[in-house]
Amino acid sequence: MKSLIRWSATVGLVGITLLGSMWIGTTQVLALPQEQIVQKLRSVPVFTITDGRGSLLVLAPPNGQKGGPIAGIFISQKDAQAFLDREKTRNPQLKDVQVSLVSLAQVYEFYQSNKGKPDQLSFTIVPSKQQSDAANALLKQNGKQAQPFNGTPLFVMASQDGAKEGFLVVQRGNQAAVPMFFNKEELQAFMDQLKKQQSDQFKNVKIQVFSLEGLIAEMQRKPDKDTAGNDEFLSKVQLVPSRESLEYVRSVTGKQQNQGRPQIAPANKPATPVKPAPKQ
């Protein structure tokens, strides 16, 4: 659980140096080894709905539709709790379920270990509405919005030099990183403070948005002979959870150390699928 709060200290400005830009142009980035993917995702707290046994609450496909059960993974604890509170008023079966904290790495590992099995459990990540709105506003501001942003937004510092576009790399101690924030306002505050220290480095810097799902897909992409050895960008990506999530992690860390870290239930012990309640 300590890795979940690592960035709460890292995003402070003491000892942080802006190294410059990592130019990626149109070159395709490479897959990372599975252990590196898991390590990067382990720093991200997410929230699930579980029953009293700790098994995931899953939704059955709508009537007449094929497919396996689906479980929601919330980026915001408040959003997860609000969703559960609404569903409890509609469905008395949910009286004993609760919001549980896990890491995104646990979700990823669970999905990978059950891939291809009958009635494979699928996950859908539920982003913060506030940050989805911020992503759409940013795309519109940058003149790139043809349709609504699809996915879980990640915000990153980018700079442009002619036709070249790159991501800003920061260093704290001996660690160089391309930080990607789940919260746009927190990245903006981070940039504003860096500008006070190194204003000359921020002449052409702006915030760009990417999807978490797309980033994970790039991490998994298999290399080929034309792209071998070009995984430097992905290896430097650091996911920065929101302060809201980090503060929640701190509030429950002591309890979980005493009670044991929550785990996603094995695939052979899923929570009973629940049909979505009709909308009122």
What pLDDT was estimated at residue 12?
Answer: 39
What pLDDT was estimated at residue 31?
Answer: 72
Residue 237's domain spans which residues?
Answer: 2-43+128-246
119 shares its domain with 138: no
239 shares its domain with 161: yes
148 shares its domain with 25: yes
- Whether residue 273 lies inside any domain: the answer is no
98 shares its domain with 223: no
- How many domains, the chain? 2
State the pairing for strand pair 153-161/164-172.
antiparallel
CA distances 242 to 10, 116, 184, 191, Å, are: 13, 33, 9, 15
CA distances 65 to 58, 62, 68, 69, 70, Å, are: 15, 6, 10, 11, 13
Burial 14-31 (b: 16+ CB within 10 A, else e): eebbbeebbebeeeebbb
- DSSP-based three-state secondary structure for 141: helix
For residue 98, what is the domain's CATH number? 3.40.1350.100
255 shares its domain with 237: no
Mean of all residue pLDDT scores within the chain: 77
- Whether residue 209 lies inside any domain: the answer is yes
9 shares its domain with 134: yes
156 shares its domain with 221: yes
Q: Which of 82, 45, 67 is nearest to 273 (CA)?
A: 67
- Whether residue 280 lies inside any domain: the answer is no
142 shares its domain with 25: yes
- Does residue 271 have a pLDDT over 60? no
| Distant-in-sequence, close-in-space partners of 163: CB < 8 Å, separation ≥ 6 | none
- Whether residue 208 lies inside any domain: the answer is yes
- Whether residue 196 lies inside any domain: the answer is yes
Query: Residue 150, Cβ neighbours under 10 Å: how many?
Result: 11
The alpha-helical segments, DSSP class H, found in the chain are 6-10, 34-41, 77-90, 104-114, 129-141, 184-197, 212-220, 232-236, 243-259
142 shares its domain with 23: yes
pLDDT tens sequence across 209-260: 999 999 999 888 866 554 444 467 888 899 999 999 999 998 887 665 555 5
The residue to which tokens 């012990």 are assigned? 269
State the pairing for strand pair 70-74/122-126.
parallel
90 shares its domain with 136: no
Which carries the bigger pLDDT value, residue 161 or residue 19? 161
Q: Alpha-carbon distance 155 to 153, whole Å?
A: 7
84 shares its domain with 149: no
What pLDDT was estimated at residue 20?
Answer: 47
184 shares its domain with 164: yes
- Whether residue 115 lies inside any domain: the answer is yes
- Whether residue 264 lies inside any domain: the answer is no
- Whether residue 71 lies inside any domain: the answer is yes
Cβ contact 173:196 at 8 Å: no
Q: Which of 101, 112, 103, 126 is nearest to 40 (CA)?
A: 103
Cβ contact 179:240 at 8 Å: yes
